[in-house]
Amino acid sequence: MDRGAGNPFRHGGTPPTMAVNPIEMQKALGGVNYPASKKDIVDQASKHKAGQEVMKALDSLPDKEYESPAAINKEVGRGD
């Protein structure tokens, strides 16, 4: 089954924008002190054993400082 072709939602594919459960994202970001760098955010998510989709989304963030969890969610929501 080719999940990448056609409609990204068909057959359980993920949309090109935020496919991350916001609750999972917030769990992964627990304990981050803001403002935080991308490295700090990714490191904290890794310590929380964040899922693959959360880690992929965080890895794709621009390398800058983030003022709050909302700023991270906004950036993740932009997609590629």
Residue of higher predicted confidence among 71 and 9: 71
Q: In degrees, to the nearest 5, what angle opens at C-alpha 51 toward C-alphas 54 and 59?
A: 40
Q: Where are the domains of the chain?
A: 34-80
Structure confidence at residue 80 (pLDDT): 53
pTM flag (> 0.85): no
Q: Give the model confidence (pLDDT) of 7-64 as tens digits.
A: 444 444 444 445 688 899 999 999 999 999 999 999 999 999 999 999 999 999 999 9
65 strand-pairing partners: 37
